Amino acid sequence: MKELFSDVGFKRLVILFLITTVLVVALNGILTENKANPLVIGIGNSIIFLASALTLVMYGRAKKSKSTHGFSRNVYAAFVTKFFVLITAAMFYFYFAEEISTRAVFICLGLYFAYHFIGASYAARVENKKIAPKH
């Protein structure tokens, strides 16, 4: 767990989370005027952050794997886990919300892509280290 907190990828996730949270709080009125529910964006941001952090833990396991198969298995398991967590959260929102904030959902989709880019760049960096020849 110590490795996760000192990892550059995790620090980038935390920075994105904090920036997004501050922007949602600061732009609360503007978001409300434009019919993008700030609460939905804040909760969505938190869920995406937690799912992405879990993904980084799984990437860390992939990093320690001694075989290419083990590496691939952990990377794909991370993707599938993150996908199902986010789909489940979206389904709960769509089912239980009195009014669906479409704009907030699309902002969360954009946040997903930002978090995914950070995680994917981390996974690519791990893979390059894994297959690079040792000198």
Calpha distance 3→121 (Å, rounded): 17
Report pLDDT for 100.
Answer: 94
Report pLDDT for 1.
Answer: 56
pLDDT single digits (tens) 92-122: 999 999 999 999 999 999 999 999 898 878 7
Report pLDDT for 130.
Answer: 52
Low pLDDT (below 70) residues in the chain: 1-6, 123, 125-135
* Euclidean distance between the first and the last CA atom of the chain, given in angstroms as a whole number: 29
Report pLDDT for 135.
Answer: 56
Report pLDDT for 106.
Answer: 96
* 77 CB-near residues (< 8 Å, 6+ apart): 58
Report pLDDT for 71.
Answer: 81
Report pLDDT for 134.
Answer: 57
Residue owning tokens 């239980």: 96
Report pLDDT for 75.
Answer: 81
Calpha distance 18→67 (Å, rounded): 36
Report pLDDT for 16.
Answer: 95
Report pLDDT for 121.
Answer: 81
